[in-house]
Amino acid sequence: MPLVVRPRCGTCGPPGSGVLAMSSPHSWQGVTPDSAVGNVGIFGVAAGAASGRLMFGRMESPTGTRCITVLPNARQRRRRCGTLAVVTALLVALAGCGTGGLSASTPTPTPAAAGQVGTAQPPASNGAPATTSPAAPVAPVAAVSASPGFGATGIAPSQPVTVTVARGVIDTLTMTGPDGAPVAGTVSPDRTTWTLGQNLAFGAAYTVTGTATGTDGRQVPITGTFSTAGTDTAVRNTVYPGDDAEVGVAAPVIVYFGAEPADKAAVAKHVTLTSTPAVEGAWAWIKHDDGRWGLDYRTKDYWPAGTQIHVSAKLYGVELAPGAYGAADITSDFTIGRNQVVLADANSHNLVVQQDGHTVATYDASYGSGDDIGDPNRVTRSGTHIVMGKEENTLMSNPAYGYSNVPEKWAVRISDNGEFIHQNQYTVADQGVVNVSHGCINLSAESAQAYFESAIYGDPVQVTGTSVQLSAADGDIYDWALSWEEWKAITVT
């Protein structure tokens, strides 16, 4: 637009014009007086001047004639113009000069872009004024997230699932299974979090849909999916004793696992035992002879007769090891039977059966001969054994001592190292007199049958009088071979 500067006296510009006319095709910002000498400085954008460099200028009158000098840089400007304000660029167009002072009529500035008031608008590369792009749309403030994240696959069927909205609240939210049926879940009182309320199925896909409204009042969708670990990852676990069993006062409770738990302490938290009356006891991890890991519960002292026991192992969907999850929750409710304890003193050559502390039977017996002949492999182990099982007819083998598949009757197993209380008609003459067996406790047919019929799983058999102690080396259920202090040292907390 034209920039007009009027002289104070004389004439400038074309003859007879009476004005100093300057024209710039580009935007400009205004005029400023030179406070040092009362002259006028003009500044603006000088496209094409000095390759687009910023220019500074002033009005000079060394001979009484007011003229305009364009300065090429800021340093020269300071030297020649004193306190002329520094601005973004200068365009000075000189149409003429004359004598006398100059006064400038103030032009109306070109409006600056929003946010750029007081600065020059740079020219576009083609010489046209630059334009401002429209502002980008503002996104809704509500943010939806999930744990595990939406799209997660192979998650444990019992894994907690939550959906959370930041800077907003949940309007509606539904999770549906493969059959389209909704899955149970609850929304928090502040409506910012939805929590899954049930276990999921193995090998299933789930879809989450809903909406949330942000603090800005704008609504956003909630959508995502999850899928669970396949059915081939489900591992069967068991608990013993089982439902409705009646067991002896030394019976340990064992939860057997189909895969060794990687985090045993974490898995143990899913297993609980309650009894009536309450009895002091503790859980410990034991690797049993069949290779399975068991979580064994042993009491400090024997169970009181008649104790009611409830075991709960909430293992469905619980990760036991990478790629292995509990197939089901398992429980057991059983009872401790009468108190029967067997006192088996190898030096006395007999077997004493007590119930509630009273002797109800005494049988002549013959124990292992190892201490007499110096063979530790034939020593009946001292310590508290438990009745593990019994068979009316069985075959016994010990190839190292020259026999295999020898039929025996009324066999009650008391350890997993080959120790039984059983009938042996070949040693009847030695029973009550001398120890001659390979480690078992031999009884006569009549005595063996009578004891067999009274024995139940978990009855304690306390062997004394021999040189070798029962230990983990004798296999499987050796829980009572440890003192209570030793048992506590290996228990889970």
Dist. CA 144–CA 102, nearest whole Å: 68
3-state secondary structure string, 216-243?
CCCEEEEEEEEEECCHHHEECCEEECCC
Evaluate whether 252 touches 386 at the Cβ level (below 8 Å): yes
Compute CA distances 379 → 75, 140, 384, 389, 397, whole Å: 110, 81, 15, 21, 17
Dist. CA 173–CA 393, nearest whole Å: 64
Dist. CA 351–CA 341, nearest whole Å: 11
Side chain identity, residue 195: T
List, by residue number, the catalytic residues: 422, 440
Q: At 446, is the secondary structure helix, strand, or coil? A: helix
Compute CA distances 160 → 107, 146, 154, 157, whole Å: 71, 11, 13, 9
Element (H, E) at 247: strand 246-247
Count CA atoms within 13 Å of residue 101 on its CB side.
Answer: 9
Dist. CA 49–CA 473, nearest whole Å: 100
Dist. CA 57–CA 22, nearest whole Å: 14
Dist. CA 314–CA 235, nearest whole Å: 13
